[in-house]
Amino acid sequence: MTFEKSRPPWDTYFMDIACLVARRATCLRRSVGAVVVKDRRILSTGYNGAPSQVRHCAETGCLREQLAVPSGERHELCRGIHAEQNAIIQAAYHGVSIKGATLFCTHLPCSICAKMIINAGIVRIVYQDGYADALSRDMLAEAQVALAQLPQRPTEEGP
């Protein structure tokens, strides 16, 4: 008996992992996951939420919601750290170079994350959902960071 199964392409495989990482997010507004990959090897992961040793928004409430801050604006008014930032910080914390890597992220990074991505030497971003931050896209294009958007896949339900 032969067993046939379809293997996902690498971009889909790593995006699926980014979606799984996003399930750890503690942000009340949006769950984002990020995976940094080089040579088909995962170097680091990150999700959005409060820094270590700081209470999560589930305990304190969403500061951005309390202040009526629109999505894509005033990123500094938040207790949380973005998934992309966490992935970059985790790599640095553990002494792992991410120069020349690809970032798989459930959402297009904001302009603050874009600046970090550019300076970290990441050369490609694969994402699923857009984000309301035109400056991010402009800076990534100027720095020649390649962008690829993958369509969202339907959720597979178990039996």
The residues that are catalytic are 84
82 is in an annotated binding site: yes
110 is in an annotated binding site: yes
Place of tokens 């959902």: 129
The answer to whether the CB of 116 falls within 8 A of the CB of 136 is: no
94 is in an annotated binding site: no
The answer to whether the CB of 81 falls within 8 A of the CB of 111 is: no
- What Rg, from alpha-carbon coordinates, does the chain have? 16
The answer to whether the CB of 26 falls within 8 A of the CB of 64 is: no
Q: Is 94 exposed, middle or buried (0-12, 13-18, 19+ CB in 10 A)?
A: exposed
Distance between CA atoms of residues 89 and 50, nearest Å: 14
Q: Is 118 exposed, middle or buried (0-12, 13-18, 19+ CB in 10 A)?
A: middle
- Locate 131 and state its tokens: 């984000």
Q: Residues marked as binding for Zn(2+)?
A: 82, 110, 113
Q: Residues marked as binding?
A: 82, 110, 113
